[in-house]
Amino acid sequence: MANISKINALALANIAKVDAITKANIAKVNGLDLPSGAFTGLLDTYTGAAAAYSTRRLASATTVLLRVRRDTGGGTGDDDEANFKFDTLTDDLTLSSPIDDAGSSSATNLGQFLNATGYTDADSLGSPADGFVDTWTDQSGNSRDAEQTAPGSQPQIFDSSSPTDLIKENGKAAIQAGNYDYMQNSFTSIAQPLTISAVYKTGTVGYSTIFRGSTSSAIGVLTHGSSNSRLDFGTSLNITNNNNAQMHTIALANGSSSLVRIDGSQDVSGNAGTNAFDPAFIMGQTTGNTYIPKMQELIFWGANQSNDFTGIETSVNTHFGIY
């Protein structure tokens, strides 16, 4: 009987230990203190990106997705700004995305910050505010953020006339540009080979600028639309025109071995020139009506990623559901 009692006592003690460990682990999950490696993003798998922008989380190290300016008065009202993280339930930008630097705001998420329908008016705005993108955070870890400090040229993420949700394309958050709206960054030129992955929606007329370099000697252009659709790093490699369509494009700038893939299939191959890429404008440029209406993701690798095209396309399409 004494031995049985000891065995029972030992069993109970071990059960208690297992239960305590289980409860601790559950508490960590509930508290979002997840073990390292619980999230694996596109950039965790396909490493070495030179710059990366998206409305979704791309890397386990990502915190902030973008910085939003709210406007309650058509350019003359409340111009408070705040950074916003990814929604912890979706790893995406949503109205429930937590605020990162509230400053003078009492909001805890993007919906409250903009006074969107269904969210608390935390700052007593009285009516929904338009939301514009001041900074699109570089998720590559290289701090090459795309910025636009001029309110009149900032693309939009939330329209107060449709206050129930963010601007979206195919159910996912999208940054929307208008005439002369663009994001701008400047960093050291990237030599070829250069791989670009872009998710965007084209316009209905003319052509739309996905990105454009700053000088004629070290340029780089990707445009898409009803005319002048091309990849150009000194020589135009013409690609299929697509009007008013959401698409995923992978472009490899690699001299005479350049190519462009659209929605999982190769579109063209050939010579796109050999110039380095001197990045400057994303979604548009300073002159001309050549802006991309909506953009959701843009990633640059300073390398030939052709062995990873299928994996990159799978990641993109699984999230954005384009093709």
pLDDT of 1 over the 60 cut: no
* Per-residue pLDDT at 32 exceeds 60: no
- The tens digit of pLDDT for each residue in 189-204 reads 889 999 999 999 988 7
pLDDT, position 131:
96
Residue 25 pLDDT more than 80? no
Average pLDDT, the chain: 86
Tell me the pLDDT tens digit for each residue of 33-72.
Answer: 444 448 999 999 999 999 999 999 999 999 999 999 999 8
The confidence score (pLDDT) of residue 20 equals: 40
pLDDT of residue 18: 38
Place 103 in a pLDDT band, splitting at 50, 70 and 90. Answer: confident
CA distance 87 to 64: 10
- pLDDT of 23 > 50? The answer is no
Pairwise CA distance, residues 79 & 71, whole Å: 5
Angle at 48 between CA 182 and CA 57, to 5 degrees: 60
CATH topology of domain 183-320: Jelly Rolls (2.60.120)
Cα–Cα nearest to 136, from 153, 155, 113: 155
For the cut 80, the answer to whether the pLDDT of residue 7 exceeds it is no
d(CA 225, CA 241): 5
Band (263; pLDDT cuts 50, 70, 90): very high
In contact, 57 and 91? CB cutoff 8 Å? yes
Taken in order 135, 137, 138, 142, the sign of the CA dihedral is positive
At residue 288, the pLDDT reads 61
Note the pLDDT of residue 317.
98
Question: What is residue 280's predicted lDDT score, i.e. its pLDDT?
Answer: 80
The predicted pLDDT at position 134 comes to 94
Quote the pLDDT of residue 26.
Answer: 37
Listed ranges 142-146, 175-179, 309-313; the one with the highest mean pLDDT: 309-313
Least confident of 130-139, 213-222, 244-253, 308-317: 213-222
Percent pLDDT > 90 in the chain is 63
Of 10-24, 70-84, 90-104, 236-250, where does mean pLDDT reach its minimum?
Answer: 10-24
Across residues 250-279, what is the average pLDDT?
A: 95
**In this structure, what token pair is assigned to residue 297?**
């993701």
The pLDDT assigned to 218 comes to 57
Mean pLDDT, to the nearest integer, of 133-154? 93
pLDDT at 186 over 80: no
SS (H, E, C) the chain: CHHHHHHHHHHHHHHHHHHHHHHHHHHHHHCCCCCCCCCCCHHHHCCCEEEEEECECCCCCCCEEEEEEEECCCCCCCCCEEEEECECCCCECCCCCEECCCCCCCCCEHHHHHCCCCCCCCCCCCCCCEEEEEEECCCCCCCCCEECCCHHHCCEEECCCCCCCCCEECCEECEECCCCCCEECCCCCECCCEEEEEEEECCCCCEEEEEEECCCCCCCEEEEECCCCEEECCCEEECCCCCCCEEEEEEEECHHHEEEEECCEEEEEECCCCCCECEEEECCCCCCCCCCCEEEEEEEECCCCHHHHHHHHHHHHHHHCCC
- Segments making up each domain of the chain, as ranges: 63-136+145-167, 183-320
Cis peptide before 193 (omega within 30 of 0): yes
- Does residue 130 register a pLDDT over 70? yes
Q: How far apart are CA 182 and CA 191, in angstroms?
A: 24
